[in-house]
């Protein structure tokens, strides 16, 4: 057990985490905690999609939500925006968020949230929903997992050979290409990867795989009708900093148009695809404002200290994964310095 976990365990056994949170609530310390989830699942050895985005099991999620209900007041997007504008929030405010649009959000998370009387915000990557395409990181994972080749030889965006001796490492290397390559033609890269992997692929197969993982618009409307907030995760789930200006604005405006058309509500908040902060990219911030976004959430681990003047396009969240114990979950909310930095900006 690492030192952070030891401290979190000690706090839990002594009642320290709860006492800190109770004192924070009593004193109305203006600290906002935002939790980041993606896919609620427990991947087994035959799971062919990206296991890293399954950041909580159903059992963990239920326990974590029970802790949230005990120690926090859960808010929604209206309160988030009001708080960033200086309004006083309830004691120990907490925002629960989900990125991407996995079906487990509806099938697993929503029943638990409703049972416990909690709400959440769901950030949707809209084109995958409408076109029934697999998320690009899950397609990469599927190709790596099912290929019978010893290695993958690619020429785009540059010549490289990726060994499949360590499939987790291979998956990470290929995902990094999409995250980091400016101006990448994603369809071209994925098609070349598919040929290199020697895996049979078709539109019908992809629709079937997407059906296993990704909500439809009708299912997303069920989230809305259950009182949940639904906001933007971009259209194509591309790292905003890697897009050319026209493509950037198309992605941002297109996602808002998709959500307005399908849900009847304009998106006001975006969770950045892959979650990297944009503070060093004023052109991205300008595009966000110009296309109607009032707030942007990163995956950089941290809490929002509302007594400070805060950049509403650099709102931090608390990163989670399946390795976090219940003690660590509560401990990092009570003492944010305990939290680990996000292992990677995933999705």
pLDDT computed for residue 73 by the predictor:
98
Q: How many helices (H) and strands (E) does the chain have?
A: 15, 11
Span 240-288, pLDDT tens digits: 999 999 999 999 999 999 999 999 999 999 999 999 999 999 999 999 9
Which residues have CB under 8 Å from 245's CB, separation 6+?
A: 283, 287
How crowded is the C-beta side of 86, counted as CA atoms within 13 Å?
1
**β-bridge pairing 93-100 and 121-124:** parallel
The CB density around residue 68, as the number of other CB atoms within 10 Å, is: 22
How crowded is the C-beta side of 346, counted as CA atoms within 13 Å?
23
pTM: 0.96
Residues of the chain with pLDDT under 50: 344-346
Question: Which of 1, 341, 34 has the alpha carbon at shortest distance from 10?
Answer: 1
Q: Give dist(CA 165, CA 183) in Å, integer.
A: 29
Name residue 317's beta-bridge partners. 301
pLDDT computed for residue 2 by the predictor:
83
pLDDT computed for residue 309 by the predictor:
84
C-alpha distances in angstroms, 134 versus 129, 130, 140, 174, 344? 9, 11, 10, 16, 21
pLDDT computed for residue 308 by the predictor:
82
What ranges do the domains of the chain cover? Answer: 3-130+215-338, 136-203
pLDDT computed for residue 168 by the predictor:
96
Which residues have CB under 8 Å from 108's CB, separation 6+?
A: 40, 41, 58, 61
Span 33-66, pLDDT tens digits: 999 999 999 999 899 999 999 999 999 999 999 9
pLDDT computed for residue 343 by the predictor:
55
From 3.40.630.30, 3.20.20.370, 3.90.600.10, 3.40.190.10, which CATH number describes the 3-130+215-338 domain?
3.20.20.370
Q: Give dist(CA 286, CA 159) in Å, integer.
A: 35
Q: Give dist(CA 60, CA 72) in Å, integer.
A: 17
Helix (H, G, I), strand (E, B) or coil at 240: helix
pLDDT computed for residue 184 by the predictor:
97
């Amino acid at each position: 057990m690492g030192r952070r976990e030891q401290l979190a365990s000690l706090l839990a056994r002594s009642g320290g985490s709860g006492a800190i949170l109770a004192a924070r609530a009593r004193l109305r310390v203006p600290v906002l905690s935002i939790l980041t989830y993606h896919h609620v699942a427990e991947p087994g050895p035959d799971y062919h999609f990206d296991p890293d985005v399954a950041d909580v099991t159903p059992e963990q999620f239920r326990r974590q939500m029970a802790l949230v209900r005990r120690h926090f007041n859960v808010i929604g997007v209206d309160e988030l925006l009001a708080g960033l504008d200086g309004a006083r929030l309830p004691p120990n405010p907490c925002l629960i968020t989900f990125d991407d649009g996995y079906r487990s959000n509806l099938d697993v998370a929503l029943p638990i949230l409703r049972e416990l009387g909690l709400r959440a915000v769901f950030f949707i990557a809209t084109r995958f929903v409408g076109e029934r395409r697999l998320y690009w990181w899950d397609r990469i994972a599927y190709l790596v997992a099912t290929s019978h080749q010893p290695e993958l030889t690619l020429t785009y965006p540059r010549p490289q050979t990726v060994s499949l001796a360590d499939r987790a490492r291979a998956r990470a290397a290929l995902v990094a290409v999409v995250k980091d390559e400016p101006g990448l033609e994603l369809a071209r890269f994925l098609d070349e990867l598919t040929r290199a992997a020697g895996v049979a692929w078709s539109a019908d197969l992809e629709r079937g795989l997407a059906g296993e993982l990704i909500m439809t618009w009708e299912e997303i409307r069920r989230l809305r009708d259950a009182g949940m907030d639904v906001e933007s995760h971009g259209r194509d789930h591309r790292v905003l900093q890697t897009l050319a200006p026209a493509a950037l604005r198309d992605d941002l405006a297109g996602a808002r148009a998709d959500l307005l058309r399908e849900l009847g509500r304009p998106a006001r908040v975006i969770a950045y695809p892959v979650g990297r902060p944009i503070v060093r990219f004023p052109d991205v911030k300008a595009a966000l404002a110009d296309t109607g976004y009032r707030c942007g959430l990163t995956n950089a681990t941290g809490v929002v200290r509302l007594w400070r003047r805060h950049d509403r396009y650099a709102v931090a969240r608390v990163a989670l994964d399946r390795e976090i114990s219940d003690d660590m979950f509560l401990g990092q909310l009570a003492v944010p310095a305990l939290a680990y930095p996000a292992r990677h900006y995933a999705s």
